[in-house]
Amino acid sequence: MSTVDKQLETVRETIDEVVPREITISDVTYEGPELVIYTRDPKQFARNGDLVRRLASELRKRISVRPDPDVLTPPSRAEEAIRKAVPDEAEISELDFHADTGEVLIKATKPGVVIGQSGETLRKITQRVGWTPEVVRTPPIESATVQNVRNLLQQERDERRDVLERVGRQIHREPMSDDEYVRITMLGGCREVGRNAFILSTPESRVLIDCGDVPGSSQQPYLEIPEAFGAGANGIDAVVLTHAHLDHSGLVPLLFEYGYDGPIYCTEPTRDLLGLLTLDALDATTGEGHAPPYDSERVRDAIKHTITLEYGDVTDIAPDIKLTLHDAGHALGSAVTHFHIGDGLYNVAFSGDIHYDDTRLFEGATNEFPRVETLVLESTYGGRNDYQTDREDAERKLLELVRETHDRDGTVVVPSPAVGRSQELMLVLEAAMRAGDIPEMPIYLDGMIWEATAVHTTYPEFLREDLRDRIFDEADNPFLADAFEPVDGDADRAALADGEPGIVLAPDGMVTGGPVHSWLEHLAGDADSTLAMLGYQASGTLGRRIRNGWDDLPIGDGGETVSLDMRVESVDGFSGHADRQGLENFVRTMNPSPEKVLCVHGDESATQDLSSALYHDHNLRTFSPKNLETFRFV
Amino acid sequence: MSTVDKQLETVRETIDEVVPREITISDVTYEGPELVIYTRDPKQFARNGDLVRRLASELRKRISVRPDPDVLTPPSRAEEAIRKAVPDEAEISELDFHADTGEVLIKATKPGVVIGQSGETLRKITQRVGWTPEVVRTPPIESATVQNVRNLLQQERDERRDVLERVGRQIHREPMSDDEYVRITMLGGCREVGRNAFILSTPESRVLIDCGDVPGSSQQPYLEIPEAFGAGANGIDAVVLTHAHLDHSGLVPLLFEYGYDGPIYCTEPTRDLLGLLTLDALDATTGEGHAPPYDSERVRDAIKHTITLEYGDVTDIAPDIKLTLHDAGHALGSAVTHFHIGDGLYNVAFSGDIHYDDTRLFEGATNEFPRVETLVLESTYGGRNDYQTDREDAERKLLELVRETHDRDGTVVVPSPAVGRSQELMLVLEAAMRAGDIPEMPIYLDGMIWEATAVHTTYPEFLREDLRDRIFDEADNPFLADAFEPVDGDADRAALADGEPGIVLAPDGMVTGGPVHSWLEHLAGDADSTLAMLGYQASGTLGRRIRNGWDDLPIGDGGETVSLDMRVESVDGFSGHADRQGLENFVRTMNPSPEKVLCVHGDESATQDLSSALYHDHNLRTFSPKNLETFRFV
Ligand SMILES: [Zn+2]
Ligand SMILES: [Zn+2]
Ligand SMILES: [Zn+2]
Ligand SMILES: [Zn+2]
Ligand SMILES: [Zn+2]
């Protein structure tokens, strides 16, 4: 008998002691980080209000109770009962019964109403029909991405259950070593922006945090070294993603090409955006005639292996590591990932990308933790002069540019990443137009922007509270404003460029390619139009060169150029990244203060400037690591 | 066809161009770092004086020419011819013919005479009999260790040839990566004295430098982490040993238990002492009822995989790494190991243990190198107060102790490591006795000291020049002085302790156990006798405690003690290690000066003190690494 089976036997004994004799337990297994209890008496179980809470505190585990499939009310009768139990104002749009897990997916416009006071309605449903309800919101804008991900997970339910059971047994295995250490190995993302990847290792476990690519390059993190996948793809216990931007997650599917078969922990929106962004990158790479490092099957693998967590959930991901995600304020579902190692031994937080102040989309990044000894901190704007314009001044400047350009009958082109900054700009422009601060005109949303917006509206609980409320009110949903027009392909762009003045939001943000490049080709010669460049431009990108004054725009692959006659303006202050002040504020007000800070995710000078400033001004032990180095903490 | 085979074909073509047509080449293979050319015409080959040199410079490889076994003169006739070719004064003691390699081993009292002017006699021998002569010295004191090692290598000649051929193909494989980096991973020996082990890695190759244990403990270096053997025992290309002390080589045989099957590079005396010291440690561990981590078969494995180098030889040990050993002045055959990586990319030197000044046994450590960017430096005496007494003062003090104790009819007991310090003390005491500075009395050599001395006399070319000359002159050989008496077991000790006054040299140096402990048990109550403690005492050892004033001597395992009434004196200045001044001098006069220094092999405070002194006083980038950390240089 394996140690996990022995452990499950002990767990089973405890359950038998706590649960009243009239409730039959048919099975107890681990599924991912959860302990799942199958019962033949789900109704009585649900009636015993705090039984689950008592079990969880007794067993010190996350517990999920499911009905034994034999005891479920047949779907047709169950549907009738559910619709009767839930008030009409919830507006149920769909019911989906999964016999293998005993779950019924309830899609409704108002999930809160389905759930009821403290989950009262859900408990009533289980009591009446046996099925465990899971509630999702009917999104105000339908997202194909979200739909595809959910369909995939439903189709592959069997394989997924195998994955979860295997992962569960892995997590709950008996610790083997009596040695103690905590290390971080830098596989990428040091003294550079891109290919973020870090290994957190203990004598017991190894976790990969992020696995990104380099925008516009085929460079990868050092995945092949022994500390990473050199000892076999499954020497890694878990992959944890801070967020879905490709510099953090673009090579996650590649891990499955290498044979990885373990879990990926992230938020639900990060999982869906991972699908959206990697499939889009795949299309782009293939379109340029390059061989992509993986195919779409690997994206599906990645999604099948995802275990989603909510902010604040403390989750066992290895025998000696607990993970908690905290809001990073940078992009939809972005997280500061916090690792508690051993029983009070050590704590490490990886900031991922953060925004310190509130934005129109998100609350600022969380920097309160139970304990953190070492912080791995992004440094995009860590340089000594990387103080950005105030958000209000930035908005004023952008709106001024829009007004001036409109007066000249020109078009404003804003290169913008599809996920995050585009939605932020949509909110700024919609508010200004509604208030009459800029004239009414079309706002063209190119590339993936519209789809990315749909994903945002699917997860309003990840947005700022006031925005969340407006999204639920269809009349007031800013993303549904009339001015927004999705753009469909280059013919569309040519026609629109020659027409009325307007505003264009188009990926990508660094002008390395993508729709924004087509817009520039159409408008390059138009001195009445404006190119408004926002935020960080990585070195080597066309965006950086234009910002530095180049006025030749390359066309096609043949080395041809056209003269860029448009007005080119930089507008700082819209970045999704904390600026130098924000980074310092994040660390200064962090509670508790960390002992050590590793500055990563920035150019060499930015990481060194930030490291030396945090050392001198805030008296912390700081480092600017290099890729391929390993730091030891305990 | 493998890339190595293709490469050998090209090599073969070059050989065919350079070698005259009348000389037939029957085979060309790699054996270890050498390219071996087999010829059916060894006589003509030998006659073409600089053919080998021309080939070596054309091919840029170390070349060895061997006769095809078919063309060798039968041994009996060959022996006659060899004895005729070599002058009688060479005093040949033995001839040994190896048909498989075409080598004949010539043991002689004066190898130089066998070799002749610029190897003239050797060439003559090959011309006449076809066999390739290899000359070894008939040692003035017969060493069982050396004899056993040589017998083993002879018995296992076939397996050894397989090993060499496999290693040769490994070394000369085609480089795979176009990435560039140089890293050092600390597996042990950081902020501690013991379990030295470091991994030097590039995208192409990985080398383990040293693999030691901790004196008196079962602690091992972190061999199981992915960077070491986690990716398989043969993820390591080569093991390189600085010297045979167990804190550097005690766990080398364990590597073969783990399945390692590659080469071990070191000097010839290090190989033999490795055999002597590990087998002795094995006996001691077994004697104490502990399970040793490997058995004697693994020691034989280690010796079979050894490739010995001379100081100054530049040797390819991996596609992108060249190794050179330099005299470290610390122990017989001890080496500073210098690694040249890539084609001028980077240079790293590991000091191993060093002694900066000349001693009676050795010249001081070499610190001239073609290039060195990073130095990994021992710090045993790196602490701010670790300045040791002058060698001359130390000798005066020791001799004074000997005289005083002799006057009281007592015995002086000197705990002393068998290899190195004991021979140094023998030279001091022999010289003093010969000069009449101390009275004539027996000098007892306990444990392995006599055998270790025999190994020293086998390799006089590794000793100081004046000592070398005296060893060859039997009448003047200091190690053959009448006063020296090997001790045989505890009955012998009891009798000797009760008898005449004398001097005892007994392992081990830190009084953790071994013969010295028996002597103390016999003499503990004798207030007329003296315990003279020399040099470094590691923390946690009995030696450290006695030095700190403890006067209870533990007896047996039961927790019993006897009172230590002997006079206890410390005599600094006899260490085989450079003191703080020596370490600073080594770095200060190093040519060229290194850019970075990693201070290892010392207590935490010693490594930190030395690191900070070298930074402040010599303006170097310095570090005091921790075990399990990885540094990147390029
Ligand atoms: Zn990001
Ligand atoms: Zn799988
Ligand atoms: Zn990023
Ligand atoms: Zn040593
Ligand atoms: Zn040592």
My answer on whether B212 and B99 are in the same domain is no
The pLDDT value recorded for residue B337 is 98
Q: Which of A88, A120, A138 is the last residue before a domain boundary?
A: A138
Query: Average pLDDT of A613-630?
Result: 96
Tell me the CA–centroid distance for residue B145 and ligand 1, in Å: 64
Residues from chain A that touch B627, judged by Cβ atoms under 8 A, are 632
Asked if residue B248 belongs to a known ligand binding site, the reply is yes
Q: Show Cβ contacts of residue B173 under 8 Å, excluding neighbours closer than 6 positions.
A: B3, B4, B319
Please state, in angstroms and rounded to a whole number, the distance separating the CA atoms of residues A275 and A252.
Answer: 10
Q: Which residue of B has its CA nearest to A631?
A: B629
**Does B60 or A365 have the greater pLDDT score?**
A365
pLDDT tens by residue, B202-224: 999 999 999 999 977 889 999 99
Which stretch of A606-610, B127-131, B481-485, B578-582 has the lowest confidence by average pLDDT?
B127-131
Give me the mean pLDDT over the A388-405 stretch: 94
The verdict on residue A314 lying in a domain is no
Express each pLDDT in B534-553 by its tens digit. Answer: 877 877 788 888 888 888 88
Q: Stretch A244-270: mean pLDDT, rounded? A: 97
Interface test with A, best of B258, B630, B631, B634 (most A CBs within 10 A): B630
Banded model confidence at residue B177, pLDDT cuts 50, 70, 90: confident
The pLDDT-based confidence of B85 (bands split at 50, 70, 90) is: very high
Nearest to A628 among B626, B627, B630 (CB): B630
Average pLDDT over residues B385-401: 92
Domain harbouring A99, CATH code? 3.30.300.20
CA of A609 to the centre of ligand 3 (A): 18
pLDDT band at A193 (very low <50, low <70, confident <90, very high): very high
Q: How confident is the model at residue A175 (pLDDT cuts 50, 70, 90)?
A: confident
Mean of the per-residue pLDDT values of chain A: 92
Using a 10 angstrom Cβ sphere, with 0-12 exposed, 13-18 middle and 19 or more buried, the burial of residue A247 is: buried
pLDDT at A457: 92
Task: Answer yes or no: is B303 within a domain.
Answer: yes
- Cβ within 8 Å, pair B632-A632: no
A203 and A126 housed in the same domain: no
Report whether pLDDT(A27) > 80: yes
Which ligand is nearest the CA of A233, by number? 2
Are both A364 and A473 inside the same structural domain? no
Whether A557 is in a domain gets the answer yes
Percentage of chain A exceeding pLDDT 90:
68
Ligand 3 center to A577 CA (angstroms): 8
pLDDT value at B357 more than 70: yes
Question: Which residues of chain B make contact with A185, given a CB cutoff of 8 A?
Answer: 630
Give how far A233 is from chain B: nearest CA, Å. 11
pLDDT at B44: 82
State the CATH number of the domain containing residue B614: 3.60.15.10
Cβ <8 Å between B628 and A183: yes
B626 to chain A: which residues are within 8 Å by CB?
Answer: 632
Which of B253, B211, B248 is closest to B228 using CA atoms?
Answer: B211
Beta-bridge partners for A134: A105
Q: Report CA dihedral (B144, B150, B154, B155) to the nearest 10 degrees.
A: 40
Q: Which of B571, B601, B622 is the last residue of a domain?
A: B571
Q: Write a three-state SS string for A277-321.
A: HHHHHHHHHHHCCCCCCCCHHHHHHHHHCEEECCCCCCEEEECCE
CB contact under 8 A, B630 and A630: yes
Looking at CA atoms only, how far is residue B633 from chain A in angstroms?
A: 9
Query: How many angstroms separate the CA atoms of A132 and B151, rounded?
Result: 77
In a shared domain, residues B594 and B611? yes
Query: CB distance B629–A632 less than 8 Å?
Result: yes
State the distance from the centre of ligand 2 to the C-alpha of A323, rounded, in angstroms.
Answer: 22
Burial of A178 (0-12, 13-18, 19+ CB in 10 A): exposed
Q: Mind listing the pLDDT tens digit for each residue in B552-572?
A: 888 877 778 889 999 999 998
* Mean pLDDT along residues B339-362: 96
What would the pLDDT profile of B304-338 be if each residue is shown by its tens digit?
Answer: 999 999 999 999 999 999 999 999 999 999 999 99
> What's the CA-to-centroid distance between A527 and ligand 4, angstroms?
76
pLDDT-based confidence at B502, cuts 50/70/90?
A: very high
Question: Is pLDDT at A216 greater than 80 in this prediction?
Answer: no
Evaluate if residue B403 carries a pLDDT over 90. Answer: yes
Q: Which ligand is nearest to the CA of B243?
A: 4
Residues with CB under 5 Å of ion ligand 3 are A 247, 353
Ligand closest to A304 (CA) is: 2
> Of B526, B543, B571, which residue sits at a domain end?
B571
Q: Are B440 and B557 part of one and the same domain? A: yes
Amino acid at B113: V
Measured CA to CA, the distance from residue B91 to residue A305 in angstroms comes to 77
B220, B628, B631: which to substitute to probe chain A, counting the most A Cβ within 10 Å?
B628
Q: Tell me which amino acid residue B208 is.
A: L
Identify the contact set of chain A against chain B, taking CB-CB distances under 8 A.
181, 183, 185, 225-227, 230-232, 235, 626-632
Within this chain, do residues A378 and A445 fall inside the same structural domain, yes or no? no
Q: Which residues of B touch A (CB under 8 A)?
A: 181, 183, 185, 225-227, 230-232, 235, 626-632
User: If you ran DSSP here, which 8-state letter would residue A230 be given?
Assistant: I
- Taking the C-alpha atoms of residue B24 and residue B281, their distance in angstroms, rounded to an integer, is 50
Averaged over B16-45, what is the pLDDT?
89
Mean pLDDT, residues A38-61 taken together: 85
Give how far the C-alpha of residue B283 lies from the chain's centroid of Cα atoms, to the nearest Å.
Answer: 21
Residues of B in contact with A199 (CB under 8 A): none
Widest CA span in chain B: 82
DSSP state of A591: B
Q: How many domains does chain B have?
A: 3
List chain A residues with CB under 8 Å of B192: none
Q: Is residue B260 part of a domain?
A: yes
Per this entry, what is the length of chain A? 634
Tell if the CB–CB gap between A632 and B628 is shorter than 8 Å: yes
Cross-chain Cβ contact B629/A628 below 8 Å: no
Per the domain annotation, does B270 fall within a domain?
Answer: yes
pLDDT at A158: 87
On the question of pLDDT at B132 being above 90, the answer is no
**B6 pLDDT higher than 80:** yes
In this prediction, residue A549 carries a pLDDT of 85
Q: What is the mean pLDDT of chain B?
A: 92
- Best A201, A628, A634 residue to mutate vs chain B (most B CBs within 10 Å): A628
Residues 6+ apart with CB under 8 A from B396: none
In a shared domain, residues B207 and B261: yes
Q: Which residues contact B466 (CB under 8 A, 6 or more apart)?
A: none
pLDDT of B100 over the 80 cut? no
**A to B CB pairs, distance under 8 Å:** 46
Average pLDDT over residues B260-279: 96
| Cross-chain residue pair A629–B628, CB shorter than 8 Å | no
Integer Cα distance of B23 and B51 in angstroms: 11
Task: Please tell me whether B305 is known to bind a ligand.
Answer: no
> How remote is the CA of residue A33 from the centroid of ligand 1, in Å?
27
Residues A356 and A475 in one domain: no
Query: Are residues B231 and B307 both part of a single domain?
Result: yes
* Closest partner CB to A231 (pick from B185, B231, B631): B231
Is residue A338 marked as binding?
no
Residue in this structure with the two tokens 């043949």, named with its chain if needed: A558
- Over residues A533-572, the pLDDT tens digits come to 987 787 778 888 888 888 888 887 777 888 999 999 999 8
Sorted by sequence, the CB contacts under 8 Å of residue A53 that are 6+ apart come out as none
pLDDT at A1 over 70: no
pLDDT tier for residue B1 given thresholds of 50, 70 and 90: low
Residues of B in contact with A204 (CB under 8 A): none
Q: Please tell me whether residues B313 and B202 are part of one structural domain.
A: yes
From the list A235, A626, A632, the residue facing B632 with the nearest CB is A626
C-alpha span between B403 and B153 (Å, rounded) = 47
Reduce the DSSP state of residue A83 to 3 states and report it.
Answer: helix
Per DSSP, the residues of B581-601 read HHHHHHHHT-BSPPSEEEEES
**Residue to substitute from A219, A225, A236, A633, interface B, most B β-carbons within 10 A:** A225
- Count of H-run helices and E-run strands, chain A: 21, 28
- Residue B20: inside a domain, yes or no? no
Surrounding ion ligand 2 within 5 Å at CB are A 261
Average confidence (pLDDT) over A198-204: 96
Determine, for residues A629 and B632 on separate chains, whether the beta-carbon distance falls below 8 Å: yes
The reply, when asked if residue B316 is annotated as ligand binding, is no
**Ligand 1 mean position to A136 CA, how many Å?**
26
Tell me whether residue B557 is annotated as binding.
no
If you measure from the C-alpha of residue B202 to the centroid of ligand 5, how many angstroms do you get, rounded to a whole number? 26
Residue-level pLDDT at A118: 86
- Distance in Å, alpha carbon of B230 to nearest chain A alpha carbon: 6
pLDDT for A410 equals 95
Q: Return the percentage of chain A with pLDDT > 70, whole number.
A: 100
* Residue from the list B183, B226, B627 with its beta carbon closest to the beta carbon of A230: B226
- DSSP string for B45-111: HHHSTTHHHHHHHHHTSEEEEEE-GGGPPPHHHHHHHHHHHS-GGG-EEEEEEETTTTEEEEEES-H
Nearest CB among A227, A626, A632 relative to B227 is that of A227
CATH number at residue A542: 3.40.50.10890
pLDDT over 80 at B478, yes or no: yes
> Which pLDDT score is estimated for A487?
93
Residue with tokens 């015409």: B41
Tell whether A479 is covered by a domain: yes
Under an 8 A CB cutoff, do B629 and A626 touch? no
| A456 annotated as ligand-binding | no
Q: Is A330 annotated as a binding residue?
A: yes
Residues in B touching A225 (Cβ below 8 Å): 227
pLDDT of residue B86: 94
Closest CA–CA distance from residue B284 to any residue of chain A (Å): 26
Selecting from A181, A226, A627 the residue whose C-beta is nearest the C-beta of B226 gives A226
User: Is B350 found in the same domain as B426?
Assistant: no
The answer to whether residue A168 is domain-embedded is no
Closest ligand, as measured to the CA of A165: 2
Spatial separation of the C-alpha atoms in residues A280 and A287, rounded to whole Å: 10
Per-residue model confidence as pLDDT tens digits over A500-527: 899 999 987 777 778 898 999 899 999 9
Read off the pLDDT of each residue in B173-177 and give the average, rounded to a whole number: 87
Instruction: Please tell me the predicted confidence (pLDDT) of residue B393.
Output: 92
Residues A500 and A537 in one domain: yes
Range of the domain at A501: 391-571
Question: Contact A632/B627, CB-based, under 8 Å?
Answer: yes
What's residue A60's pLDDT?
86
Nearest residue to B185 (alpha-carbon basis) of B246, B234, B230, B217 = B230
